[in-house]
Structure 1
Amino acid sequence: MKKNINRMIIMMFLCMVIYNLGHPGTPDLIQMRGWKKSISGEFLAFMSTAMFISSPYLGALADRFGMKRIFVLMPFFYGIAQLIFGFATSIPIIFLARIIAGFVSGGTFAVAFGYVSQLSEKEEKAKNIAKISSAIVIGGAIGQKIGGIVATVDPRYSFGLQFICGGILSLFILVFMREIINRREVIKKLENTLDIKNNKSLNPFLTFRYIKELDGFSKFFGVIIFLSGIGIYSYASALNYFFKFYEKVSADTIGTFVMCSSLLAFLGTGFLLEKLLKKFKEKSIHKIMIFIGIILMSAIFFRIKSGITPYFIMAVYTMSYEIVRSLGNTIIARRYAENQGKILGMVSAADSLGNAIGSYLSGHLLAFNPFLPFIVNIGIMAVVLILIERRVSKIFYKLKI
């Protein structure tokens, strides 16, 4: 069991290396094509909307047919989507590529978290989910650094590299990953899907029905994750473009900053969070990290022109919000014993919908004023903290009654 969890952590790390190769070169690609700056947010919004639809859907399919069967396809199709994005010139085709990439990304996260959660004992879920989050962070850091170096030659090359590496990784998953449900059970489930009535359940828009199946607290916390996604990504999605268009730094420099901040986030999710979980409950840590994030973002906003200081604060902020996102998965996953792919897919869906809105806002906020993404982040995360506190206060009030 532990061996299978470790294999998934390694594969997810490699996925994130590949999935992040293109990010540092995207601002240069936009500049090369002569597109408007705000299109960056529109690209991310389309991608994130597809993630919203696909996360619970592909998570549910993985629960039903086998996690490996779904996961093995993800890197290959992501590579195809990125190849189209990097080399196509037609705007409609490029938006289609963003949708495909988002659909695949949603499935990747849902299956990875669901796989690890399903294999973990209840008391081990938080730790193992944090390990997946750490793999995502560190893989993303290395991917962005490599992508930044490649993009300095030609931004399109990093997207071609994603295609090549995505195909290779799918072969690795096919050979080295292990399925976690009985083969006879898989065959039986596959036979059942030949029935027309059962095929209706393969409709990806059942995401909306899945959300209704959550209990009251999970629905509330889904809203918290959604709003947090808007707050986090209205800033995070604008950051590379803020560096490129307003700080005038190179793609390689962007990759270096992202790598350093992601390494700090890795230390947070991989080591600091584990120590905090021994002393505090997940919900308490979640609230504290949101509060710390608000303080850090305020410090960045007021010291944006103070040498390297804001860059260090940005890196610490990255650590805080990665811990918040990791805990969001754990808090909901612990409430359910089965269908981990679907349940954690819904968590990813809430995050992705927030990502979509935040990313769409980021481009327009950045085009209007380079400091607006920072202000919006502070405002929305403050609202999130107030909502959590009010919910907790209501629970305590009911208990007193």
Structure 2
Amino acid sequence: MQQRKLFFMLVASFNLAANYAHPITPTYFKLLGLDSAMFGYAFALMSLGMFVASPLFGKLSNKYASKTLMGLGSLGYSLAQVIFAVAHSPSLILGGRFFAGFSCASFFVGALAYITNTTTAKTRGADLTLNAAIQTVFSALGYFVGGLVGDYDLMLAFGLQIGQLFLTGILFYFCLQNDLKVSDTVSSKKTSAQTKRRPALAPLVWGLLAVSALTFLGYTSFDQSFNYYLKDIFDLSTSYNGTFKGAVGLISLGANLTLGLYLVKKPHLKQNTSLILVLCAVFMGCVCLTYDLKWFFLANLIFYGLYAISVPLVQELITNQATKDNQGQILGAYQASQSFGRIFGAFLAGILYDQAPLSPFILGASSFLLAAILVIILPLSKKKPV
């Protein structure tokens, strides 16, 4: 129990620190004289780093304790932010962003592996839900704290982030117990030859990975356009965005710890997941139908809450397909599917917004609807595996 509390406290610390630099990045780029396109390039390179590295760390999660992957991920992100903070050229900045994505892959694959290794089929869904809630809430809180500190001093925000990520990585490695037994690592070494000839993932798993990619494509298309849309269409100041993000964090926490926990424990996981994805599509679609600011914010808040619930539900569907032999492969592929969706979501949103401001929202709603249809037609059992 103590180790579980420590794990979630350190996950909270990582997600808090990881977001300190996000609200100050546009200002930092302007001070360096970089154009607005660099913001999109930096996000794309970070997502690409996660996409490339996730399968690698999925394989490593079979051989090394998850605390090692999480510790290295946190330390690596700290180093990446040092590069980001001192770099004054586009090439170094983009290289730092790629390394940041590479490090994030190590952390997030390690976190999912830790939950999978330390829970049973009955308790896994609850821990996945709690993990998603902590990530959402502390990411929003980190965004808020970073904005406040950045208003005072940009380099102070970077320094706080670098120090906290470094300390978090050290604590992960030295304070968290191993989640892999010695017999597991020995068995992993004995089967290394079989691992090289590992069979392809089952079509069902590929279908679920497509669901994951579609949800992250839809969310990224929506989220990347949302901030700009507030200024472009409603001419709102940045303080509105910070306040809204804080409200999103609180609503996501409440949604996950109530409805999210309830749904993930119910036997009809397939039906519950498809329903939540359909509702995500509906409320994202409602955003396109209103120009009244009050209803616009309400539809967005409901969408963000539903999206927060959908993440652990999709994770549960995918982790239920994992066995001892292919767990690392599936976890790495899942993390890669997220990055794949982010890359194309951001890329398409940038192209479509220039054509019509509401286009990224329509793309997002369509992606969630398609993901829901895919969950419905996949041959998933009604009950979760025991």
Same fold (TM over 0.5): yes
Say which of 324, 330, 351 aligns to 1:343. 330
Question: Structure 2 matches for 1:383-394, cutoff 5 A?
Answer: 383-391=370-378
CA contact (8 A) 1:75 1:169 kept: yes
Corresponding position of 2:272: 285
3-state SS, counterpart of residue 177 of structure 2: coil
Shift of the alpha carbon at 1:182? 3.3
Shift of the alpha carbon at 1:250? 5.0
108-117 vs 162-171, greater mean Cα deviation: 162-171
> Using the alignment, how far apart are the partners of 1:246 and 1:83 within structure 2?
36
Corresponding position of 2:77: 78
CA offsets per residue over residues 246-292 of structure 1, 9 Å max, x none? 65555554333212102211222222111223445221121111111
Structure 1 residues 88 and 369, CA gap change in structure 2 (3 angstroms)? farther
Shift of the alpha carbon at 1:105? 0.9
3-state SS, counterpart of residue 72 of structure 1: helix
148-157 vs 158-167, greater mean Cα deviation: 148-157
Corresponding position of 1:178: 177
> Using the alignment, how far apart are the partners of 2:122 and 2:260 within structure 1?
14
Percentage identity across aligned positions? 22
Please tell me whether residue 306 in structure 1 is matched to residue 292 in structure 2: yes
- Structure 1 residue identity aligned to 2:73: M
Say which of 311, 323, 348 aligns to 1:325. 311
CA-based RMSD? 2.9
Structure 1 residues 189 and 79, CA gap change in structure 2 (3 angstroms)? farther
3-state SS, counterpart of residue 64 of structure 1: coil
Question: Structure 2 matches for 1:135-284, cutoff 5 A?
Answer: 135-182=134-181, 213-243=200-230, 247=234, 249-279=236-266, 281-284=268-271
CA offsets per residue over residues 198-217 of structure 1, 9 Å max, x none? 69x8xxxx9xx97x632221
Structure 1 residues 182 and 391, CA gap change in structure 2 (3 angstroms)? closer
CA offsets per residue over residues 196-248 of structure 1, 9 Å max, x none? x969x8xxxx9xx97x6322211111112112221111111233344456655
> Using the alignment, how far apart are the partners of 1:278 and 1:166 within structure 2?
33
CA contact (8 A) 1:54 1:106 kept: yes
> Using the alignment, how far apart are the partners of 2:82 and 2:119 within structure 1?
36
Corresponding position of 1:19: 18
Equivalent pairs counted in the alignment come to: 381
Shift of the alpha carbon at 1:90? 0.7
323-332 vs 379-388, greater mean Cα deviation: 379-388
State the TM-score, normalizing by the size of structure 1.
Answer: 0.85
State the TM-score, normalizing by the size of structure 2.
Answer: 0.88
3-state SS, counterpart of residue 22 of structure 1: coil
Shift of the alpha carbon at 1:344? 1.9
CA offsets per residue over residues 7-57 of structure 1, 9 Å max, x none? 222211111001111122223233333433333222222111211122231
> Using the alignment, how far apart are the partners of 1:13 and 1:135 within structure 2?
6
Structure 1 residues 79 and 366, CA gap change in structure 2 (3 angstroms)? farther
3-state SS, counterpart of residue 73 of structure 1: helix
